[in-house]
């Protein structure tokens, strides 16, 4: 029952996303950074902390605008969390399944062609989420 509740929380007040940021220090010039984030008003911090303690895979960040974020950023934690809640998701099931594919592809990158395939998955993921600043980074092979 708790898994279904947390999945509902993610569907309503959460986000699954991956950022592909230009970064010259990375092998192919981009950093792939996946995240799962839950949001809640700081006014209800006690209940939010209770929910987060059930998950225990990330950390809480207080934003300046009165919002709390529970951020899961480690890839193994993201995978474990998504495998736990995906059967119960409704609105974000497609994002969760694609994120797992992205994590799989990221773990298998051995050359530029593999990285290009990963970039295509990231671009597909961006089409599922609303973003004012959406950029496409698909690379040419």
Domains in the chain, start-ordered, CATH in brackets? 2-128 (3.10.28.10)
pLDDT of the residue at 70: 97
DSSP β-bridge partners for residue 14? 38
The catalytically annotated residue of 13, 73, 80, 123 is: 13
pLDDT digits over 4-39, tens only?
999 999 999 999 999 888 999 998 999 999 999 999
Phi/psi at 64 (5° precision): -70, -15
Q: pLDDT by residue (tens digit) across 42-85?
A: 998 999 999 999 999 999 999 999 999 999 999 999 999 999 99
The DSSP symbol for 87 reads G
pLDDT band at 131 (very low <50, low <70, confident <90, very high): low
Return the pLDDT at 128. Answer: 78
**Contacts of residue 10, Cβ cutoff 8 Å, sequence gap at least 6:** 16, 36, 38, 85, 89, 92
Distance, CA of 99 to chain centre: 7
Task: Quote the pLDDT of residue 95.
Answer: 95
Q: For strands 59-62 and 67-72, give the pairing.
A: antiparallel
Residue 123 known to be catalytic: no
Any idea which residue has 């303690």 for tokens? Answer: 53
The reply to whether 114 belongs to the active site is no
The DSSP code for 139 is P
CA 90/CA 117 separation, integer angstroms: 27
DSSP H stretches of helix in the chain: 2-13, 45-55, 75-85, 93-107, 112-128
- Say what the pTM is: 0.86
């Amino acid at each position: 029952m708790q898994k279904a509740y947390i999945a509902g929380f993610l569907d309503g007040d959460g986000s699954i996303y991956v950022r592909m940021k230009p970064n010259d220090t990375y092998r192919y010039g981009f950093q792939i950074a996946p995240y799962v984030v839950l949001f809640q008003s700081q006014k209800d911090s006690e209940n939010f902390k209770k929910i987060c303690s059930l998950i225990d895979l990330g950390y809480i960040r207080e934003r300046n605008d009165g919002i709390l974020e529970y951020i899961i950023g480690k890839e193994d934690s993201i995978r474990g969390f998504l495998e736990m809640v995906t059967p119960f998701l409704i609105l974000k099931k497609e994002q969760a399944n694609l994120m797992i594919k992205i994590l799989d592809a990221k773990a298998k990158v051995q050359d530029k062609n593999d990285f290009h395939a990963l970039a295509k998955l990231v671009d597909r993921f961006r089409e599922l989420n609303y973003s004012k600043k959406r950029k496409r980074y698909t690379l040419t092979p």
